[in-house]
A and B are shown apart, each in its own frame.
Chain A
Amino acid sequence: MNANHSNRTLTLAGRVIRQIARDRRTVALFLVVPMLVLALGALLLRSEAGAVPLGVVNHDEGVDVLLVGHVSLAERIVAALEEGEGVIVVPLSAAEADEALRTGQVRGVATFPPEFSAGFAQARRATIPLRLEGSNPTDALSLKGNLTRAAIQALAGLASLSGMPAIDMHDLPITIETTYLYGGAEYDLLDFFAPVYIALIVFFFVFLLTTVSFLRERTQGTIERLLATPASRLEIAAGYMLGFMVFALAQAGLLLLFVVIVVGIHYAGSLLIVFLVLALVVVTAVNLGIFLSTFARNEFQVLQFIPLVIFPMVLLSGLIWPVADLPDILRPFAYVLPLTYANEALRDVMIKGRGLGEIAPLLGVLILFGVGMLALAAATIRREVA
């Protein structure tokens, strides 16, 4: 009797193995995809955090120190910054500073006033004004850290020269005073993350819902019947798009209100424009779903699209790492993801308070993605039957 039991168990196990092994794509995916995702993560995490461009406006006139001669503290700090690997120093004039921040040429600007060294010589204290672009909290941290480190280094060098007392690490004589072009000190990581999180969630759910519903339409044979009516493929794809749009926008709207009212994130721009961007995200998600449903024979295979489609979006679309900081081999992939453009547009509106006109190029790219995917979706509906 025991032998019989184990026989049945073995037979059943054999059947399960045979069934799964026959689905070659599933086997290939579950062997290969985790490695791909890990490789992607490794590339991202191992890549040296790129040096952040820091603008420097140096008006420091220096000061004459007994026995040492003419000394400019600012120059020494800049030299220390240039020695380090964290930042790239970009010399700027005061007039250029804000423009350089706005265009993204630099992510922050440190300004040394004319009496910087003289003031320090007198009071043994100095303040460096640091103006930050403000839409990326990671940059802000990195710039502040690098600037502090450089200042300590410069002061330590000076101390050994002139016999100044050693620096008290608990009460640094240099203070960094931050101001922001966009946002402000009250903007935190969440404000940076929340707008794009909504886009990702909306994309993910709409993509999954469409893929499964369209798959059902195929497996139940209703698509066959639908195509035997005068309805055109474009009408079908567009109908799907509109239908899912209702739910996706309800979801997006609710999430948006939730993060604004309950979570209390800060935003500078119009929520209506945010909504418009999310609507365009839905268009691309629905049509990508219809398109990819052609390549799935069952719901199980739909699940396999998650690591293939969603993981790269999470890692590469600027959600966590800014696209500009991606390793060179990965950056091109970011530019073929619609979410990259949506994320940039969302941050432009939410954090920088930009208007429709300023994000128009990004919206244009999203519309192109939408139209392209719609054409692709309509084409695959045709491929299925003719």
Chain B
Amino acid sequence: MTKLEVQNIALGYNQHPVVSGLSFRLEPGEMVGLIGPNGCGKTSIIKALSRVLETQAGQITLDGKDLHLFAHNDLARAIGVVPQNPALPENFTVAEIVLLGRTPYLGWLRKESSGDLALAWWAMQRTGTAVLYDRRLGELSGGERQRVTIARVLAQEPQVILLDEPTANLDINHQQEILNLIKGLCREKNLAVLIALHDLNLASQYCDRLILLKEGRIYADGRPQEVITAANIKAVYRSESLVYPHPENNLPVVMLSSKEIK
């Protein structure tokens, strides 16, 4: 049963449309990559899916029910978002931030129960931030803060996770850690995951399916081998490239063509 369905939506700021005529599906247990040049609408789509940005046309449904029909809290329990540059207050501790993820379950006046604390701990362990639990965010590095945000989202126990360029500021080993973590959870908990990535190779290696955007419309939607082709890259990115299958798993690998190097 389709988890999240997007039907023919249009999105924009003021009168300027960024995305139009967009339709796709997210299934549980599937990791979908959202790729395309900067400004093609990746962030706007993620905002629309979490109802932060209102659609100008079309409809988004979760479990068959229109997003607008969900109460704020219920939506927060179902969908978790890891934004691109999340603001994080310097003076809160890691544990306090991760516990904020329990907000949709706690209402306003209930204290955190030991169950909530246990879950927060688990989230911190999975993201490797448990050892930092009482450190203040101001003392952490960019990568550590990113993992804290992911832990916070995990604490929400969502069924859908949306991530906007979560690996942008990380070293290659951390990038792999995070993506391994996300993919593992995707499989383990049967989550529907949509991850916006700018690195085509990471997208190819990790995602079950890719959606390639060009100027606010879907240019291609399919498995990595179908979407990442030299022709598609040329059409969307206007760049000559070489696409070869990875020697170990045959997934497409993108290399810069020497023609582009001047």
Whether chain B is bound by chain A comes out as no
- Which residues of B are in contact with A by a Cβ distance under 8 Å? none
- Which residues of A are in contact with B by a Cβ distance under 8 Å? none
